A and B are shown apart, each in its own frame.
Chain A
Amino acid sequence: MHTNHKFFSKLLLSTALLISVNSLSAQNAAGDTNVYLIAILIVIGALILVSAILTLSQNFISIEAAKFGVEIEEKDNGFSLSNLWKEANPLYTNGTPVTELKKGHDILLKGKPSSELIKKNVKRFAVNPKSFRGLSPIPKVLVEVGDEVKAGDPIYYDKKNPVVKFVAPVSGEVIEINRGEKRAITDIVILADSEVKHAQLDPPSINEASRDDIVSFLLSSGGWTLFNQRPYDILPAHDAVPTNIFISTFNTSPLSPDSSVIIEGQGDLFQKGLDTLNRLTSGQVFLGLCANFDDAPHEVFTGADNVVKKWFKGKHPSGNVGIQIHHTAPIAAGQTVWTLSVQEVITLGELMHKGIFNARRIVVIGGANVINPVHVETYIGANVGELVKDNIQGDNNRIIDGDVLSGKQTKDSNYLGFRSDQISVIEEGDYYEIFGWLVPIKARPTISGTFPNFLYPNLEFDGDTNTHGERRAFVMSGEYEKVLPMDLYPQHLMKAIMTGDFEQMEGLGIYELSEEDVALCEFVCTSKMPLQNILRDGLDMMREQG
């Protein structure tokens, strides 16, 4: 019914436009009169005026109603231009406002993980100091090769910041301490026991203990390492108090994990985690919820207490926490906020509730060359090769720790990073393509109108790592804005970073961005600019300046 009504309004408007265009051309032929044109303009003007008056009066009525505390039912008042192209919000949002993000792009790839959850027997796990930005390259390691550790035992700490302890994700024997360039420690490998034994700690009460007690418990138990501070994406200082804390409960990136698989059966711990976070911030804890689908998000999310819920609707990157922060309470200069993923909140809740550091992680494995794309249950820092074993076909693949836009290239012998929840596998694109820039042989994801992709909106792509062109100077403009749903000028920001103009960088909003937010901009860039690297350079410059 509702859709019908809209359809006819659209039809009416387009007919009016068509008639006006026709009359314009008729007037060309006749050459002597533009009566039609004027009449049509008047009609269109009148339509706009009427709809404006209707909208305005409706608004006045609701304002007055709110003043007197009267609840009036939102009625569709017939013809309104603003409502015409707006889709109705799903019912489960219960009328709470939904932030609709028009900009963005979903890259549909083959090999989307099913919601099946399997367990894989992974033997080797590693803690890798490289997962954390800004640590000194050689941390103080507290264990030696051959030591037995329990999950939750401290493994190392940063010499600059010794109160923050980094702990073991599993129990077992330390078998390797690997070093990279300049003797920097890359991973400390643990051969896991078949049954993980946790170090039992004594957590303070979430609601009654003082904030200081909670903080000192988190610092010593590894809980602090769960927090990610924006801007810069670093570990927060041990005395930091975040302005707000943000959690996005959905992921819109290609081949991303399904958060309802993650949260299943973890509702209590998730809520405990949220309660803990509330004790840590001076502001509020925000939960970003997804209004993209007909089905409501998991009831744990919709029913969560002690948080401010924000609904978001839109294509990727609407699930990125940075985008949600921008539309909730933007980070201003001098402010810091913390972000956590759903799984990190669960770990935090379990740590505070049961006193154990349970590093359980659900990781998705997806991509065109994955035989059985699924969710896999494992622990932080699992060995990549063991995780993907017998599940990949083809021998020219790129394995990515993370999604195809902002992940890191990895390989079988590597270990997943601390915050990883995704492995993507796509084919390497090291092939020549004759006239490939003009008449491509294989379908490829794009936002450009020069490809016929818009005819097949649901087509899934294999995807490969070919750059599809060479790097050039900035030529096109307005491309990035189309896929970044933020009030920001990304191209001008990038130029400010490249010229090292601090004032402009700050003014153009560098604090609000992280690599994953500009990843889609980098994807669409005609000039093949490395935007994520440029942004990171800028953030590093800002951080060094203090």
Chain B
Amino acid sequence: MGLIQYFKKIEPDKKKSPFLHTAYDAFFTFLASPNSVTKDGVHMRDGMDLKRTMVHVVLAMQLCYVFGTYNIGHQHFTAMGEYLGFLEGFHLKLAHGLIKLFPIFVVTHVVGLGIEFWYAAKKGHAVEEGFLVSGALIPLIMPPDLPIWILVLSVAFAVILVKEAFGGTGMNIWNVALMARLFVFFAYPTTISGDDVWVSGFEHIRAGYAADYGWAHNLFNGLFGAMGLDKFTGGQVVDGFTGATPLALAYQGGWEAVTAVYSVSDMWWGTIPGSIGETSKPFILFGAIFLLVTRIASWRIMLGMVLGASLMAIILNAWDATPFMNVPWYYQFYMGSFFFAMAFMATDPVTAASTNGGKIAYGFLIGFIGMIVRVLNPAYPEGWMLAIIFMNTFAPLLDRLVLNPHIARRKKLAHA
């Protein structure tokens, strides 16, 4: 273990430079699990710890990252009517996706982890792993063209006010990643709603504009040129391309309007505009199954959500007042980010209900309310973010509804 000894040698002094020591400690415990032993209480501990838990959630998202990155590029070129086949122009799409995603990913982590480290140093405890998941989720739920300074503000808002103000990992009331998105949604609504924001570079390829490629694209152009591949040339958006998501279309004209633009398999595989990581259903479901098999996420919440959303969608089918309500209930799952919210957002154990009964109710109500917001709200045709944050607020209440009868039953026994 020469490596360990080397790293132990360069450990900064805790008193002299607390921030450095915190950062060192965070990276060191990442490199090697510490040599701490049990004291009193149990003498043997389960192999599971919070790092392992969090990293497994991040692992579950990796396919969404791969697909999301590529889909940024795919949508960009689809808007211009170029390389319409999914695998055509592979290098260009991937390069464009990386150029868009990379800054978002790096900035999210630098800002978020920076704040975490600073707080940990200040409070004198170890850096907690919660931001590993929040930091991996935030890029996936943002639109690809989100200005970086807005991202910085939203991440800082979420980490400082939603998490650290309440005491750090495990103490927050609302889902950190969703609060970052909520911040953008209320503070800068034009960057995260409407038809224009879901396709990367859409602003710049409208009729009369030239595609706005920066130095990164030019760098790749040089590389691709040298390899004899196609280059980024820019172009104009094709006639009839609106960038509208299936949900926006469904709001205007029901299922017919959606299928006129997107096929069912497009929506299933996720080759449609949307937030970066939420479009591809199979890859999200793969992550969901991974989380269920490893028993990290609660099946109760997921099941409850599917039931709640199905029930509300069936009720809306029966109501049948607008074209959107008339969309067959099972097709509601093909549109929007239901599965992403189900797999990664609602199952956050800190903000969800913590009793088994409460979890089913919590999931069910998210599904139920989210579908109401999606279909009946004219301003914003997607509901999971708002529904989850709403139910985060009421999760302790759901737990109380489970615990209070339990307590009353025990009291009754005592008096009997």
Residues of A near any B CB (own CB < 8 A) = 28, 31, 34, 107, 330, 332-335, 398, 400, 404-409, 424, 426, 428-438, 440, 444-451, 463-470, 472-478, 481, 487, 489, 491-492, 504, 507-509, 519, 522-528, 530-533
Contacts and interface: CB of A to CB of B under 8 A. Distances in A.
A492 B48 contact: no
A469 B32 contact: no
Interface in B37-53: 37-38, 40-53
A465 B46 CA distance: 10
Given A404-B43, A468-B48, A526-B53, A475 B170 contact: yes
A507 B407 contact: yes
Interface in B388-407: 399, 403, 406-407
Nearest to B291: A449
A533 B406 CA distance: 24
Interface string B274-309: 000000000000000000011110100000000000
Contact of B37 (A406, A467, A481, A532): A467
8 closest residue pairs by CB, A with B: A469-B49, A473-B170, A507-B407, A436-B33, A332-B414, A477-B354, A448-B48, A449-B294
B251 to A, nearest CB: 21
Given A332-B410, A465-B38, A475-B349, A525 B31 contact: no
A531 B41 CA distance: 8
B39 to A, nearest CB: 8
Given A432-B4, A450-B294, A532-B42, A472 B414 contact: no
A107 B298 CA distance: 24
B410 A426 contact: no
B352 interface: yes
B42 A523 contact: yes
B206 interface: no
A18 to B, nearest CB: 16
A490 B347 CA distance: 20
A51 to B, nearest CB: 22
A188 B200 CA distance: 80
B349 A476 contact: yes
Contact of A470 (B126, B170, B268): B126
Contacts of A333: 411, 414
B349 A477 contact: yes
A508 B44 contact: no
B362 to A, nearest CB: 11
A202 B204 CA distance: 103
B350 interface: yes
Contact of B410 (A334, A400, A509): A509
A107 B46 CA distance: 10
B36 interface: yes
A448 B129 CA distance: 18
Contacts of A527: 50, 170
B56 interface: yes
B406 A469 contact: no
Nearest to A451: B47
Given A473-B167, A522-B41, A435 B32 contact: yes
B32 A470 contact: no
Given A436-B33, A469-B52, A492-B355, A31 B264 contact: yes
* Interface size classification for chain B: 35 or more
Contact of B52 (A407, A430, A438, A477): A438
B169 to A, nearest CB: 6
Contacts of A507: 406-408, 410-411
A319 B247 CA distance: 56
Given A437-B51, A469-B51, A469-B52, A478 B46 contact: no
B128 interface: yes
Nearest to B3: A434
18 contacts: A406-B42, A434-B1, A438-B52, A447-B48, A449-B295, A450-B294, A465-B37, A466-B36, A469-B49, A469-B50, A473-B169, A474-B170, A475-B53, A475-B130, A475-B169, A487-B406, A508-B410, A526-B48
Nearest to B171: A473
B35 interface: yes
Contact of B49 (A431, A504, A528): A528
A438 B36 contact: no
A526 B49 contact: yes
B85 to A, nearest CB: 21
Nearest to A400: B43
Contacts of B46: 444-448, 468, 523-526
Contacts of A398: 37, 43
Contacts of B38: 429, 465-467
Contacts of B359: 478
Interface in B126-174: 126, 128-130, 167-171
A473 B40 CA distance: 18
B51 A409 contact: no
Given A433-B32, A466-B35, A107 B49 contact: no
Interface string B74-92: 0000000000000000000
A476 B37 contact: no
B33 A432 contact: yes
Contacts of A465: 37-38, 43-44
Interface string B198-228: 0000000000000000000000000000000
Contact of B128 (A400, A468, A472): A472
B55 A438 contact: yes
A433 B1 CA distance: 9
Given A470-B36, A478-B298, A405 B43 contact: yes
B377 interface: no
A529 B51 CA distance: 15
B30 to A, nearest CB: 8
Nearest to A515: B41
Interface in B320-357: 330, 349-350, 352, 354-356
Contact of B35 (A432, A438, A487): A432
B29 interface: yes
Given A404-B42, A464-B44, A468-B48, 19 more contacts: A330-B413, A407-B43, A409-B40, A409-B43, A428-B37, A429-B37, A432-B4, A432-B34, A438-B55, A446-B46, A451-B48, A465-B37, A467-B45, A473-B128, A473-B169, A477-B355, A507-B407, A507-B411, A528-B45
